[in-house]
Amino acid sequence: MSDSVNIIKNQEKKRIRKEKNKRLFRAMFDRKMVRVGAVGVALFILIAIFAGVIAPHDPNATDVSAILQTPNKVHLLGTDQYGRDTLSRIIYGSRISLIIGVLAVSISCVAGLTIGLISAYFGGWVDMIIMRLCEVVISIPAIMINIALIAIFGNTIYDLAVILGISTIPGYIRMMRAMALNIRRSDYVQVAQMQGARSFYIMLRHVLPNSISPLLVMMMTNVGTTILAEAGLSFLGIGITIPIASWGSMVNQGRAYLISNPILAIAPGLCVSLLVICLNTLGDGVRDAIDPRLRGEV
Amino acid sequence: MSGTLLKVEDLQTKFRAGKITTLVVDGVSLDLEPGEIIGLVGESGSGKSVTMLSTIQLLPGTGFVSGGRVELDGDGKNLINYSPKSNEMRKIRGGRIGMIFQEPMTSLNPIMKVGEQIRESIMLHQGLSAGEAKKKAIEMMDLVAIPDAEKRYAEYPMQFSGGMRQRIMIAMVLAGQPDILVADEATTALDVTIQAQILETIRDLSLKTGISVIIVTHNLGIIARYAQRIYVMYAGGIVEQGMSAEIFHSPQHPYTRGLLNAIPRLDDPVDRVLIPIPGMPPMPQNRPQYCPFYDRCLYRHDRCLTLPKPELVEYEEGHFFACHLDENEKKAKKEEIDRQVHQFRPEKIILDEVCLEVNNLIKSFDVTRGFLQKKIAVINAVDDISFKIRKGETLGVVGESGCGKTTLGRTIMRMYTPSSGEIKLFGTNIASMNMREIKPYRKQMSMIFQDPFSSLDPRMSVGAIVAQPLKISKICKSTTEIYNRVNELFELVGLDTSMRERFPHEFSGGQRQRIGIARALASNPALMICDEPISALDVSIQAQITNLLEELQSKFNLAYLFIAHDLAVVKHISDKILVMYLGRVMEVALSSDIYENPMHPYTKALLSAVPVADPLVEKTRSFIGLQGEVPSVFNRPKGCPFNNRCSYAQERCFREVPQLKEVGKEHTMACFL
């Protein structure tokens, strides 16, 4: 008897969970902008994965007979000063840019959140030291830090991702700390403390979920700035090793031909903007969908 | 002076949201004679503030006045015809009708001296020179009873307390020499004692200067004490209006009767039963075509559903109400309700077993300053407090804000470590335990908070919120067990179990407070600390929660420590009352004793500051104005903490701290008198 009741209850619970997931999904994708963003991001990822299949030419093959061509039938987006096919380079470059952008942001976000939470939670000397260190990092121009770190670690894609990530960590730490300090004072955190909850539980269950919204927005914007920061490093000649294509370095190279052959800089630049726009709309959708207060309001 | 000063007729105000417009104020008419004080009373969302803002066309955002007349001095000019931004309207705001609001902090410019703010207002409205205006400003500050006006002229808003800021606001409004002063919940955020001081000042002003006053509030007591005529608002319309005494003594509308039945009064008998008004007021967009009160009405009749919204009809001269029922029907229903009342009150059983015993509890905070955190002072927020609460008993704690009530509650919950003293939970002293040792005892006590909005995590479903203590204290092992227990708790507090997957923002204030109570009950506590559990709720909802707390107490023999500033509520729910001032106990007595026979001057002053919702009783009460305000923690008086505000203070009071002494059966107080 009681078994059958339990089975019914379990089924009920499963149904509720399913319903919840469905609600979350609906809340996210009921928004038209979010659908556009999601499709866009998916497209960029597919292009990056299947670059070898899609690209019409070898991205690094030079052709002295066809330099600086404007868009034509053979080279859909023209060629650069070495006669390399711009479209193919953009397609291959998506790999580098996506990896660096996403990886760098993930690293800085995870590190920043953890350190920020620790700082807010322990307070006192720990907080003091962490915050002063943050100020030190912020006071030095990011490019200087990056140059120094590249000199130490090298400049493979993964090195670059880590290095570009490190310089944005203080932003996340400060944001997380400010949110956490605020939420820690709220009544519901005090209730949990009165029930004897551990700090770790409170941080994970209350503080983190309630501070996620602004952090999500910050992450999505940072993907774009990181891709462009990589370009800055390429400009100094310490970014991605030549001849590997990345959007950032392509914008940089195309800069010299802005008047004679503008597509060289505009095409990869447009890609960066498109990716950032897609990520932002998707990010906004995720933020709204996981916020119960906004859920269901399209 | 010819007749009616302000005449509002059939005023309608709408708010636009996208393509939809919502009628918020639905045909309000009121009038105001010169020198009169009238009250506009209603729950939040009833449209009382919007009505007042509509008369001066100062509506927020998308609001606009869509019809009706507003006329000053009976001069035949309809103010509604002026554009909200017109010069005529601007002259009326401030010049004819002045308004003060609830939040005096945000109404004053924090970086400008208060005197100059008043002076500017005077220069603008009266066109005086700077020098003359300054003199006038100081006069104004005197008029609103700000002590040392000349000295305080050059101080900044942050140097004033909430009550003083509100006085400054009044002075600023008076600078425009208006004929009408609108006080929109102007004293709601203040302590009862300060509230009484401010309202007394307003009444004196009205007598002295002949200014008319409109008091907008949800507090029936204030209305009973100060207003001569009353308008009761519900769902955007006036449901009853009349002279103050008539409204309170022969209320005709079921809503007015409901309100009066729902609020506790200081002069209630011990066995008074509160009759809550069920449900919630309708949102403006879902107001029905029929009588808007029908859904909550205890008197309702089937024909109310088919008839349109009732119009105001005259009952006696000057006394109008809007209801379809006739006298006999209401009389019959009232008798029926009175018969049922006695089933409401749950049985009260106080056991002999002592649940919580607090002995000589002291909680002090160090005040530090500077980079090296040098200790500059020690403040005893809770200073030598002792009491006992038995199972099933309620101890009420009252006192003005800043008296350490909340600190006391939190110290007992061991959110703070006491500086010294004992906290015994069923005989076990938990005062000096560390966080790990105390964990098993945590489930025996829980707390209900004042703000039902901030005490629930907005990202958790309410089911998960209620389940949290079960998980943390590992009371329930399996998920099925938790699931069942949460359902049980939901039913206990009168919530539908199907709502457990919803999130806090989908609930109303009263429902959220129920969720908070369910969470507090989850671990089967013996002691509940209720920190102002109902003061953030609407009048009609307060009774629902009070009754729920009483019902739960009798079901589980809960011991309550009930902290509140509303003396009437505390008196209603408590068996014993502890009066606190600056961290010390002033008086402890049975709740009936404390009203009939208050001994300590502070208790007397507190009680007299609380208005009773009955104009006749109010007339017989003598008002002991409590002077001044709670001193800041830094300059506590030596000797008796109350000595600087006490009218009986003698030389001895400034030397010695009076200890608690027995003055009657279960009645102690700390005073040399």
The CATH number of whichever domain residue A213 belongs to comes to 1.10.3720.10
Edge-to-edge strand list for the sheet holding B661-664: B445-448, B527-531, B559-563, B394-398, B576-581, B584-590, B667-669, B661-664
DSSP SS3 for B459: coil
d(CA B588, CA B532): 19
d(CA B154, CA B21): 47
Asked, for residue A297, whether it belongs to a domain, the answer is no
Asked, for residue A123, whether it belongs to a domain, the answer is yes
Pick among B416, B436, B459, B505 to test the A interface (most A CBs inside 10 A) = B459
| Per-residue confidence (pLDDT) for residue B366, from 0 to 100 | 84
> Is the separation of the CB atoms in B256 and B232 below 8 Å?
yes
Note the pLDDT tens digit of each residue in B496-515.
888 888 888 888 888 999 99
The mean pLDDT of B74-94, rounded to a whole number, is 86
**A32 at interface of B, judged by CB pairs closer than 8 A:** no
The mean pLDDT of B148-168, rounded to a whole number, is 86
Asked, for residue A231, whether it belongs to a domain, the answer is yes
Candidate from A1-5, B170-174, B217-221, B669-673 with smallest mean pLDDT: A1-5
Q: What is the mean pLDDT of chain A?
A: 84
DSSP state of B651: G
The mean pLDDT of B340-357, rounded to a whole number, is 80
Count the domains in chain A.
1
The mean pLDDT of B147-167, rounded to a whole number, is 85
| pLDDT of A296 higher than 70 | no
d(CA B136, CA B149): 11
Query: Omega of the bond prior to A243 within 30 degrees of 0, cis?
Result: yes
Terminal alpha carbon distance of chain A? 45
Q: Between A249 and A99, whose confidence is greater? A: A99
> Within 10 A of B640 (CB to CB), how many other CB atoms are there?
26
Pick among B435, B456, B472, B482 to test the A interface (most A CBs inside 10 A) = B472
The mean pLDDT of B13-21, rounded to a whole number, is 85
| Per-residue confidence (pLDDT) for residue A9, from 0 to 100 | 66
- For A136, the domain range is 31-290
| Per-residue confidence (pLDDT) for residue A1, from 0 to 100 | 45
Distance from CA of B520 to the nearest CA of A (A): 9
Chain B residues inside the 8 Å CB shell of A9: 480, 483
| pLDDT of B633 higher than 70 | no
The mean pLDDT of A243-271, rounded to a whole number, is 85
| Per-residue confidence (pLDDT) for residue B1, from 0 to 100 | 42
Chain B residues inside the 8 Å CB shell of A205: 457, 460
**A16 at interface of B, judged by CB pairs closer than 8 A:** yes
| pLDDT of B140 higher than 50 | yes
Sign of CA dihedral A176, A179, A185, A188: negative
The mean pLDDT of A198-216, rounded to a whole number, is 88
Q: Does the interface ipTM go beyond 0.85?
A: no
Distance from CA of B18 to the nearest CA of A (A): 14
Asked, for residue A49, whether it belongs to a domain, the answer is yes
Residue B49 is inside which H or E element, if any?
helix B48-55
Which band of pLDDT confidence, cut at 50, 70 and 90, is reported for residue A297? very low
Note the pLDDT tens digit of each residue in A14-50.
777 777 777 777 777 777 778 888 899 999 999 989 9
Note the pLDDT tens digit of each residue in B418-437.
999 999 999 899 988 888 88
| pLDDT of B105 higher than 80 | no
Tally the C-alpha atoms within 13 A of residue A265's C-alpha that lie toward its C-beta.
Answer: 14
Asked, for residue A8, whether it belongs to a domain, the answer is no
Note the pLDDT tens digit of each residue in B642-670.
888 888 888 888 888 888 888 888 899 89
Kindly state the percentage of chain B with pLDDT values over 90.
26
Distance from CA of B542 to the nearest CA of A (A): 21
The mean pLDDT of B573-584, rounded to a whole number, is 91
State the pairing for strand pair B237-243/B319-321: antiparallel
Could you tell me how far CA B561 lies from the centroid of its own chain?
Answer: 19
Kindly state the percentage of chain B with pLDDT values over 70.
98
Which band of pLDDT confidence, cut at 50, 70 and 90, is reported for residue B552? very high
Looking at chain B, which residue has its C-alpha nearest residue A202? B472
**DSSP string covering B374-403, please?**
EEEEEEEEEEEEEEEEETT-EEEEE--TTS
Note the pLDDT tens digit of each residue in B446-505.
999 888 888 899 889 899 999 999 988 888 888 888 999 999 999 999 888 888 888 888
Chain A residues inside the 8 Å CB shell of B467: none
Q: Which residues of B touch A (CB under 8 A)?
A: 413-415, 435, 438-439, 442-443, 445-447, 449, 451, 454-461, 465, 468-469, 472-473, 479-480, 483, 501, 503-505, 519, 523
Sign of CA dihedral A176, A181, A187, A191: positive
Burial annotation B185-203 (CB, 10 A radius, 16+ → b, else e):
bbbbbbbbbbbbbbbbbbe
Looking at chain A, which residue has its C-alpha nearest residue B484? A9
Asked, for residue A23, whether it belongs to a domain, the answer is no
Note the pLDDT tens digit of each residue in B196-212.
888 988 998 899 888 99
Tokens of A76: 């859909």
The mean pLDDT of B18-43, rounded to a whole number, is 89
Q: Which domains does chain B show, CATH number per domain?
A: 106-176 (no CATH), 252-344 (no CATH), 392-417+428-444+525-669 (3.40.50.300)
Distance from CA of B352 to the nearest CA of A (A): 27
Candidate from A4-8, B72-76, B539-543 with smallest mean pLDDT: A4-8
Asked, for residue A5, whether it belongs to a domain, the answer is no
> Within 10 A of B102 (CB to CB), how many other CB atoms are there?
18
| Per-residue confidence (pLDDT) for residue B342, from 0 to 100 | 63
The mean pLDDT of B41-64, rounded to a whole number, is 87
Asked, for residue A10, whether it belongs to a domain, the answer is no
> Is the separation of the CB atoms in B401 and B416 below 8 Å?
no
| pLDDT of B63 higher than 50 | yes
- How many residues are recorded in chain B? 673
Looking at chain A, which residue has its C-alpha nearest residue B453? A187
pTM metric for this prediction: 0.84
